[in-house]
């Protein structure tokens, strides 16, 4: 996961996916200090997807398929966001069935959305309740919590003010290196701008400190240009 806001959008019928979504949210908030919004796709719409850097999508499985609203949500444009996807399924409960369930309900599902390159996927057990009575319960929230911890560990949210050498690319798990380049924003060009680059995937990002420096340099330059225009 990346620094910034996280959305967990889920669809549930029997409640297992909601319980998993809440466990993930609690873990990311309490252990990794991430800002997390939970959206039940049956009840609410996602107000502004653009505000999220990380999106975790979850859905239950019935009759061999993940729930429709969760699938529909996968059609969104997630460019530049870190995506994770999980399902709750009775078939994911035992070691014998787990791999099959993960392939069938998670990997095969995501293969229909080629624009999504998920950073993490998982199949958790679910439960079946009828008239308030639990018929089967294959949930294991310690597994859900462990998955959330992996997501949290890969979040560079704690980078603010720390050195570049302490930061890992959340996709490649490789240390970022500091680079300098010319940077252009709305026609304003800055030379020797410092940023971080992953040596593996080449993705670049600013630390909060670097972002502040760039913002100040742009505003100084714009103000300078404006004051010269007036003379």
CB of 43 to ligand FMN, least distance (A): 14
Alpha-carbon span 85 to 74, nearest angstrom: 9
| Footprint of ligand FMN (CB under 6 A) | 12-17, 60-64, 88-91, 101, 126-128
Q: Which is nearer to ligand FMN, 126 or 152 (CB)?
A: 126
CB of 204 to ligand FMN, least distance (A): 38
Structure tokens at 173: 């798990």
Pairing of strands 188-197, 177-185: antiparallel
CB of 15 to ligand FMN, least distance (A): 5
Q: Which is nearer to ligand FMN, 140 or 203 (CB)?
A: 140
DSSP 40-90: ETTT---S-GGGEEEEEEEEEEETTEE-HHHHHHTTS--TT-EEEEEEE-G
Alpha-carbon span 84 to 76, nearest angstrom: 14
Q: Which is nearer to ligand FMN, 60 or 170 (CB)?
A: 60
- 229 by Cβ neighbours in 10 Å (0-12 / 13-18 / 19+) ranks as exposed
> Which residues have C-beta within 8 Å of that of residue 85, sequence separation ≥ 6?
56, 57, 58, 74, 106, 109, 110, 116, 118, 120, 121, 122
**Residue nearest ligand FMN, CB atom distance:** 126
CB of 7 to ligand FMN, least distance (A): 18
Pairing of strands 52-62, 82-88: parallel
Q: Which is nearer to ligand FMN, 59 or 156 (CB)?
A: 59
CB of 88 to ligand FMN, least distance (A): 4
CB of 30 to ligand FMN, least distance (A): 23
Q: Which is nearer to ligand FMN, 3 or 57 (CB)?
A: 57
184 forms beta bridges with: 189
- 222 by Cβ neighbours in 10 Å (0-12 / 13-18 / 19+) ranks as middle
């Amino acid at each position: 996961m990346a620094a910034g806001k996280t959305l967990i959008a889920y669809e549930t019928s029997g409640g297992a996916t909601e319980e998993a979504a809440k466990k993930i949210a609690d873990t990311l908030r309490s252990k990794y200090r991430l800002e997390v919004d939970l959206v039940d796709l049956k009840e609410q719409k996602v107000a502004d997807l653009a505000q999220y850097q990380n999106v975790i999508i979850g859905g239950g499985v019935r009759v061999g398929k993940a729930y429709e609203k969760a699938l529909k949500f996968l059609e969104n444009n997630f460019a530049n966001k870190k995506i994770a996807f999980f399902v709750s399924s009775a078939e994911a409960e035992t070691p014998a069935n787990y791999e099959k369930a993960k392939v069938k309900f998670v990997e095969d599902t995501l293969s229909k959305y080629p624009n999504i390159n998920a950073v993490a996927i998982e199949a958790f057990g679910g439960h079946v309740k009828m008239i308030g009575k639990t018929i089967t319960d294959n949930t294991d929230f310690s597994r859900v919590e462990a998955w959330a911890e992996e997501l949290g560990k890969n979040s560079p949210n704690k980078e603010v003010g720390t050195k570049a050498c302490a930061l890992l690319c959340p996709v490649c798990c490789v240390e970022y290196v500091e680079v300098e380049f010319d940077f252009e924003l709305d026609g304003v060009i800055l030379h020797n701008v410092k940023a971080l680059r992953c040596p593996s995937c080449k993705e670049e990002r600013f630390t909060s400190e670097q972002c502040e420096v760039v913002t100040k340099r742009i505003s100084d330059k714009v103000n300078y240009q404006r004051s010269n225009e007036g003379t």
